[in-house]
Structure 1
């Protein structure tokens, strides 16, 4: 029996573990924190969305555990604040709904379920020296976490862009004003749901996004351990207002600064949070810093052992506005699983590189439906970063302007979040201009 070690209880690592268990592989999962520690962690993640296609994948896999509680997200309302011009709004619904679940809840439940299904779960920190021992015991070692000394095993990809480090402020809130009933949407079950899985339609709402040259913000419902709440997230690059936090800020300092930044740069969102406040005892307010990266997927241990990186270990996607972290987790787990199932013999460096390259820039096919998702996801974040930049190509402003008055453009711009590979038209100026021109032809 093929023995596989997965290091890191990230969503991608856990999804892969469950997929391997479905096919009777011998799976060991090592993680520094137990499910209890994850669930009550004082460090919440900044990625919560599961978009419709990813949710359908979770349902088919029997891993959508929070349907009766999790807020449904059926689209986005995007408030644009161009410099020197009036604010604009773009709004569109997805074909169906996604959900918003605190990653601590999701990871803790999936880790417990993996152990119940027969995975060997080891709660321990792990070092490069430890991997020197473990790699000889397993046919394949996969690193599914992007933090700590193990990340140094993977060199930066020489042909990938190096975006600026981002700062993110997050607050889990209670008392957020609800949207008007007319703005809420009744949607049915997502594609791929088993027959009768959700026999009645459910009420869903749109996430609200604001984008200005200084800050991007998102306000949406989220399921945390205590039940449904809302989460406000502000994100900006170095050198802007997201750098101006008090030294060693406390919870109240962070929240006051967040509220003021929202009032200045996202007034439509501020209207909903003006009377809201952080949820007690949820590690409700936090600051985060992360650097987007793309790394080579094959890690070489000093003794010659090999480690394969996946998802956040080699492709960072912690952009809450782009909402692609769970898409990356699903895509990585599904693609790697298909490659493992189709493989016989030793897992060579060439096989590892081909596996990653297929996910990064491959062509989708029935066997590998998520091929090409890696480059598409990072490309989407790059485009969103460019919108207000002085060097932004002119067609981006033309597309956004058209989306404010032509619902077809709005639907294509927002609906593409479900599968970022669909944004190829937006990243090419000629294709984008041809598309806009086609809308005015008789």
Structure 2
């Protein structure tokens, strides 16, 4: 029985620990909080997981909340015009539903499951010195705690990290009482509201500790009019500021948010961090090696909603690499190959797309977003790119690729309309 230490009890750490546990590995999990402390603490993220990531949870039979969480069927994009109206407004349909479960619910539940199944839980904030001691008694140490001292072991990969400062100021509110959208009122959807030169507002259905809720999530350009949450510690003040900004910049969303209330005193979050890709292997003072997991080594801005999705995909990829490795030593070459497999399938396409969305959109991308309002296949493909960011490589980054795809989509829609018209006249 191989012994593995997993440090960090988030999406990737717990998914990996439970997956390895189910395969008979002896797993020790280090968490800086108990399940009850997580459950009663502050919200941690704005997770919206798409079908591929959700399937990884289903494969491990960890989809405990799938029947209770809202089934998100679409993803909509609105672009604010200077006069407060919408220059663009469309809804793309997802092939498989997405879902958001408050990490306080999920991580607390998974942590309880891990211990109920006989896993060894150590509630302790790990230091580099701790890992140096532990590494001698484990076959493999996986670091899935994306903040704090441990991250310093993984050097920044400058070639893959174009930004060295935060690109957005983040502010989150979990609320009850949000009304339906006037458009498509019966469709549960994530709404991406783009305010040029100011930032973005995301609105998404979620399941929280008190049942169904919605997340209001501002991403503001640093130093801009949305960058006003620093030092706001009172939850009610945080929500009031969120709504004030909605009234000014996204009045169509504010119209359905006038009666909202925070889900709980821990239902707000604000902060910022620089997107970064780090070297995947950490070296301990005693010479041991540890492998970084998910956002320890690939941390993207949440503008594309990829954090939890990438974490689930990383955990699934690492699980596969560990199982295939059998009883061979987890050496440096294996660690590099394991990370590279994740990087090229998931990490790289997510990073490329996220970094592109953080910049000022070029003309061909503006054309693409605008065309999605006229051509449903374009809206659908863009929406499903949140599940499979690698698909953007085919049509998003190069102006000629974009023009070719839009022409193809327009011809397809025109052809379908003609065929439908012909069928009607034949009748």
- The TM-score with structure 1 as length reference comes to 0.87
Number of the residue aligned with 2:239: 255
Number of the residue aligned with 1:201: none
What does the per-residue CA deviation read over 1:254-288, in whole Å, with 9 as the maximum and x for residues that have no partner? Answer: 2222111111222221111122222343x123322
In the alignment, the residues of structure 2 paired with residue 233 and residue 114 of structure 1 have an alpha-carbon distance, to the nearest angstrom, of: 31
Post-superposition offset of 1:56 = 2.3
Q: Among residues 360, 373, 381, which one is paired with 1:404 in the alignment? A: 373
What does the per-residue CA deviation read over 1:64-96, in whole Å, with 9 as the maximum and x for residues that have no partner? Answer: 111232111111121112568952112111012
Number of the residue aligned with 2:154: 154
Equivalent pair of 1:317/1:328 in contact (CA under 8 Å) = no
Equivalent pair of 1:54/1:330 in contact (CA under 8 Å) = yes
Number of the residue aligned with 1:331: 313
User: Per the alignment, in what secondary structure is the counterpart of residue 100 of structure 1?
Assistant: coil
Number of the residue aligned with 2:263: 279
Structure 1 segments, 4+ long, off by >4 Å, are 82-86, 246-249
User: Per the alignment, in what secondary structure is the counterpart of residue 88 of structure 1?
Assistant: strand
Equivalent pair of 1:328/1:374 in contact (CA under 8 Å) = yes
What does the per-residue CA deviation read over 1:148-187, in whole Å, with 9 as the maximum and x for residues that have no partner? Answer: 00000000012113334121111111221124695324xx
Q: 1:328/1:244 Cα in 2 relative to 1: closer, same or farther (>3 Å)? A: same
What does the per-residue CA deviation read over 1:207-246, in whole Å, with 9 as the maximum and x for residues that have no partner? Answer: 2221112121111221111111111110123121232347
In the alignment, the residues of structure 1 paired with residue 153 and residue 174 of structure 2 have an alpha-carbon distance, to the nearest angstrom, of: 34
Number of the residue aligned with 1:341: 323
In the alignment, the residues of structure 1 paired with residue 46 and residue 231 of structure 2 have an alpha-carbon distance, to the nearest angstrom, of: 25
In the alignment, the residues of structure 2 paired with residue 20 and residue 263 of structure 1 have an alpha-carbon distance, to the nearest angstrom, of: 48
Number of the residue aligned with 1:169: 171
Number of the residue aligned with 1:314: 297
User: Per the alignment, in what secondary structure is the counterpart of residue 366 of structure 2?
Assistant: helix
- 2:347 pairs with 1:374: yes
In the alignment, the residues of structure 1 paired with residue 221 and residue 182 of structure 2 have an alpha-carbon distance, to the nearest angstrom, of: 33
Number of the residue aligned with 1:45: 44
Q: 1:134/1:249 Cα in 2 relative to 1: closer, same or farther (>3 Å)? A: closer
User: Per the alignment, in what secondary structure is the counterpart of residue 95 of structure 2?
Assistant: strand
User: Per the alignment, in what secondary structure is the counterpart of residue 67 of structure 2?
Assistant: coil
Number of the residue aligned with 2:422: none
User: Per the alignment, in what secondary structure is the counterpart of residue 217 of structure 2?
Assistant: strand
Gaps of 5+ in 2: 416-427
- The TM-score with structure 2 as length reference comes to 0.90
In the alignment, the residues of structure 2 paired with residue 429 and residue 350 of structure 1 have an alpha-carbon distance, to the nearest angstrom, of: 39
Number of the residue aligned with 1:215: 199
Number of the residue aligned with 1:244: 228
Number of the residue aligned with 2:356: 383
Q: Where do 1:356-367 residues align within 5 Å?
A: 356-361=339-344
Equivalent pair of 1:5/1:28 in contact (CA under 8 Å) = yes
Post-superposition offset of 1:30 = 0.7
What does the per-residue CA deviation read over 1:24-46, in whole Å, with 9 as the maximum and x for residues that have no partner? Answer: 111110111011111111x3112
In the alignment, the residues of structure 2 paired with residue 350 and residue 128 of structure 1 have an alpha-carbon distance, to the nearest angstrom, of: 22
Number of the residue aligned with 1:422: 391
Post-superposition offset of 1:251 = 2.3
Equivalent pair of 1:184/1:206 in contact (CA under 8 Å) = no
Q: 1:253/1:246 Cα in 2 relative to 1: closer, same or farther (>3 Å)? A: farther
In the alignment, the residues of structure 2 paired with residue 223 and residue 418 of structure 1 have an alpha-carbon distance, to the nearest angstrom, of: 20
- 2:183 pairs with 1:184: no
Number of the residue aligned with 1:192: none
Which moves more between the two structures, 52-61 or 403-412?
52-61
What does the per-residue CA deviation read over 1:35-61, in whole Å, with 9 as the maximum and x for residues that have no partner? Answer: 1111111x3112221212222221221
Equivalent pair of 2:93/2:380 in contact (CA under 8 Å) = yes
Equivalent pair of 2:56/2:313 in contact (CA under 8 Å) = no
Q: Where do 1:18-167 residues align within 5 Å?
A: 18-41=18-41, 43-81=42-80, 87-163=87-163, 164-165=165-166, 166-167=168-169
Post-superposition offset of 1:126 = 1.1
Equivalent pair of 2:210/2:263 in contact (CA under 8 Å) = no
Number of the residue aligned with 1:437: 407
Equivalent pair of 2:35/2:112 in contact (CA under 8 Å) = yes
Number of the residue aligned with 2:212: 228
Equivalent pair of 1:207/1:220 in contact (CA under 8 Å) = yes
Number of the residue aligned with 2:277: 294
